[in-house]
């Protein structure tokens, strides 16, 4: 995640968590963050990204 998406800090953990949920059969999982880089990484992993208010 760090090299593929250029994420830093705990961002790779957040993205990995939703990847695990999806692989465990959690159904449709949407993603949302105030960090645009993290949202872009989630979108590239084919998650539906919800825009923060």
pLDDT digits (tens, 9 = 90+) for 17-41: 999 999 998 788 899 999 999 999 9
Q: Which residue ranges make up each domain of the chain?
A: 2-49
Q: Give me the pLDDT at residue 2, please.
A: 80
The Cα 35–Cα 25 span in angstroms is: 26
Separation CA 24–CA 5 (nearest Å): 22
Cα dihedral 34, 36, 41, 47 sign: positive
Is the whole-model pTM more than 0.85? no
Over the chain, what is the mean pLDDT? 90
Please name every residue paired with 49 in a beta bridge, in sequence order, or none if there are none: 31
pLDDT of 52 above 80: no
Ramachandran category for residue 36: left, alpha or beta (phi over 0 → left; psi -120 to 50 → alpha) = alpha
Residue 42 has pLDDT above 80, yes or no: yes
């Amino acid at each position: 995640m760090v090299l593929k998406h250029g994420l830093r800090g705990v961002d790779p953990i957040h993205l990995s968590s939703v990847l695990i949920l999806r692989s465990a059969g959690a159904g449709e999982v949407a993603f949302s963050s105030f960090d645009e880089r993290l949202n872009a990484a989630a979108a590239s992993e084919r998650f539906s990204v919800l825009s923060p208010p």
